[in-house]
Amino acid sequence: MYWSRHQYATYWLALVSFTESSFFIVPPDVMLAPMTLAKPDKAWFYAGLTTVLSVMGGLLGYVIGIYAFEVVEPWLHDFGYFDSYQLAQVWFSKWGFWAILIAGFTPIPYKVFTIAAGAGAMALVPFILGSLVGRGLRFFLVSGLMRWGGRALEEKLSLLIDRLGWTIVFLLFGAYFIWVY
């Protein structure tokens, strides 16, 4: 919660929102929620910023899918995302716009869908519109809930984020040791 009040927190939120949509593993919700709790009057600004930067990062994922899929494909296998990638391809062929909207809103790894959309040559306008709606719904919902929950929710969130942070640290160290050994 301390860092969510930091003078550069907005810049970090923007960076995480952008990178998570194409290659970074930490979702922006982890920063968006405490920042909204710390400054509820900026809830809609934070949600809008997160949405726009996430969609822009999604466009980077789209470009990666078009021009660099051969480079990314081994990583999809290594990190266990290849099955999700194949599912995304099936969804695009059946539902297009709706697939990217659902991927943008749910905990399904959005980055996999952005790369798959580019690799599968999904039309750009439906991709952008689906991303804006899906990501926007998600991030405005998170900000709205945090704004509504107020200080009572801050204590619970602080404990949850602490546990989540340590879990991620342990998982990263575990993955590193498995990878190396």
Domain membership flag for residue 145: yes
178 located within any domain: no
User: What's the confidence (pLDDT) of residue 147?
Assistant: 87
Domain housing 86: 3-150
Residue 96 zone, left/alpha/beta (φ > 0; ψ -120 to 50; rest): left
Is residue 166 included in any domain, yes or no?
Answer: no
**pLDDT tens digits, one per residue of 100-156:** 888 888 777 888 889 888 988 888 999 999 999 999 998 998 898 888 877 777 667
Torsion of CA 109, 80, 62, 69, to 10 degrees: 180
65 located within any domain: yes
Domain membership of residue 161 (yes or no) is no
Structural domains of the chain, count: 1
Residue 94 lies in a domain: yes
- Of 28-42, 60-74, 78-92, 125-139, least confident by mean pLDDT is 78-92
Question: Mind listing the pLDDT tens digit for each residue in 17-43?
Answer: 999 988 887 888 888 988 898 888 999
Which of 127, 133, 141, 129 minimizes the C-alpha distance to 46? 141
pLDDT at 93 over 90: no
Specify if 8 maps to a domain.
yes
Going by the DSSP 8-state scheme, the letter that residue 7 receives in this structure is T
Residue 6: the pLDDT is 72
Report pTM. 0.74
Higher-confidence position of 89 and 10:
10
Interhelix angle 9-20/29-38, rounded to 10 degrees, is: 150
The answer to which of 10-19, 50-59, 123-132, 171-180 has the lowest mean pLDDT is: 171-180
> Does 163 reside within a domain?
no
